Amino acid sequence: MLRSRAVIAACALTAGVLTLMATPAMAEPEFSGQSTTASVKPLPGMIQALQRDLGLSAEQAESRLLNEARLAGVETKIRKSLGGGYAGSWLSGPTSSTLTIATTDAASTSSVTGAGVQAKVVRHSLASLNAAKDALDKASATAAPKASPVWYVDVRTNSVVVQTSQPADAEAFIAASGADRGAVRVELSGETPQTYYDLRGGDAYYIGGARCSIGFPITRGTTQGFVSAGHCGSTGNSTSGYNQVAQGTFQGSSFPTNDYSWIATNSNWTAQPWVNQSGTNLQVTGSTVAVEGASICRSGSTTGWHCGTVQQRNTSVTYSQGTVYEVTRTNVCAEPGDSGGSFISGSQAQGVTSGGSGNCSSGGTTYFQPVNEILSVYGLTLKTSGGTPPPTGCTGYQQTVTGSLSSGASAYQPGGSYYNSTVSGTHRACLDGPNGTDFDLYLEKWNGSAWATVASATTANPDETLTYSGTSGYYRYRVHAYSGSGSYSLGYTKP
């Protein structure tokens, strides 16, 4: 949907293209000692890439992946056992055969050392190094050092490194921050970083003074870009990103009859296999078409994330500009500015937002242009995360949901919301996380003013189960990626 004040005044609550020339497209109020050995199956090309970039043989590359998977679980358990004495860890050797664990507690070294694992006693804990870096971060918010563009925690040297081309500038920066000087070292560097930006479904982009939403990132040979709605722009129009940085150019556009386009972006932008799901990155794994009745969700830069169901495929809809054929009709809401944004079912891309009626306060009907036709017409390749399905090790539960998390992130299920248990009884859940990670599971209950954790499963493994007997009320699950990233599956049964 385009955002333009001049058109807002003329919008009508009738079926219309989701620019500000027409209003398109919801519901209960929101409540604010054992190693893990992963089965490593490298993605196509991974072994070759490791050989090329790390100078390894094929055997060394395979051994490296196996060692990294095995030692990941070992590291997680040791890290948790060391608590505040933990000072970081790192792998070394061409095949990652050695894991070094740093600790401030000399007495703990005997419990750390084992097959392929060695301990190193250091002065600063990881917590204290992080505190020193946090001080630098806060100081940079008001006076970013131009000659010291990079600083980081370096666990190998047990210090915070400030890279700079001007040591005096760096010293002044460190002194002003109040960071522990004994934990910080200055390193001479001529590095001058520049920014790069991710293309993500649902994020805003601009065409002059109007706004639309990215549908799905794509590639065409070595060119990167994204698909969107045709009514958002004409071939040759320039675009800027959500941050108003120059982005790309419309390479093709068709509207009406169709409502699709594709935009090639410049080298500052990288196509990612993601859709913006309320601020988190939902992985896109393919574009299998969802049938009538299937659940479907939409991401757009005006109203964010909303869901509903597929009503009818092969629909013709007439806007004031003309008729668009073979779109899909849904009961998902949308509003001006959402045009071009992603429609997705599970992890499967479905299409780009075209138009509709209603809004996200009272509900509405929205139509989308199927994505597979766009890919076919322009010879584009959908950017996906490799098509690897989420784990499916949890069976026999009433409901199963899936998702993907980056290390340190959390997601709430089901669907970023909660469920209502009308009777007392037992809640059961099973989390199946990706191999080589540590995913944790929490069950939370609404106490009338806040969410409170009533049960948890937090082993050092990717898989968790929990059981809780509780009274009626509102419940939700929080899935947390303690370490590692990837797709997960959550099965749950309520009373």
Q: Locate 202 and state its tokens.
A: 């649902």
Which of 39-48, 153-162, 432-441 shows the lowest mean pLDDT across its residues? 39-48
Which of 113-127, 134-148, 226-240, 455-469 shows the lowest mean pLDDT across its residues? 134-148
Instruction: Please tell me which residue in 89, 96, 203, 231 is annotated as part of the active site.
Output: 231
- Residue 259 falls in the annotated catalytic set: yes
pLDDT attached to residue 298: 95
pLDDT attached to residue 12: 29
> Domains, the chain, ranges and CATH?
1-27+196-388 (2.40.10.10), 46-121 (3.30.300.50), 126-188 (3.30.300.50), 399-493 (2.60.120.380)
> Amino acid identity, residue 293?
G
Q: Tell me: the pLDDT tens digits for 297-333? A: 999 999 999 998 888 888 888 898 988 888 999 999 9
- CA–CA separation, 310 and 350 (whole Å): 10
Q: Tell me: the pLDDT tens digits for 32-45? A: 333 333 344 555 46
Q: Which residues contact 280 (CB under 8 A, 6 or more apart)?
A: 405, 409, 411
Cα 399 → chain centroid = 23
Q: Confidence class of residue 392 from pLDDT cuts 50, 70 and 90?
A: low
- CA–CA separation, 173 and 179 (whole Å): 10
pLDDT attached to residue 144: 60
Instruction: Please tell me which residue in 35, 159, 254, 259 is annotated as part of the active site.
Output: 259
- Residue 231 falls in the annotated catalytic set: yes
Whole-number percent of the chain with pLDDT over 90: 45
pLDDT attached to residue 41: 55
pLDDT attached to residue 181: 94
- CA–CA separation, 388 and 284 (whole Å): 10
Instruction: Please tell me which residue in 125, 228, 253, 339 is annotated as part of the active site.
Output: 339
For residues 149 and 17, the model is more confident at 149
Of the ranges 150-154, 250-254, 280-284, which is most confident?
250-254
- Residue 339 falls in the annotated catalytic set: yes
pLDDT attached to residue 355: 94
Q: Confidence class of residue 100 from pLDDT cuts 50, 70 and 90?
A: very high
Q: Which pTM does this prediction carry?
A: 0.48
- CA–CA separation, 45 and 41 (whole Å): 11
For the chain, what is the mean pLDDT? 84
CB distance 421 to 450 below 8 Å = no
286 burial (CB, 10 Å; 0-12 / 13-18 / 19+) is: middle
Which of 106-110, 221-225, 485-489 shows the lowest mean pLDDT across its residues? 485-489
- CA–CA separation, 154 and 158 (whole Å): 6
Q: What DSSP letter does each residue of 273-311 carry, written as one string?
A: EEEEETTEEEEP-B-PPPPTT-EEEEEETTTEEEEEEEE
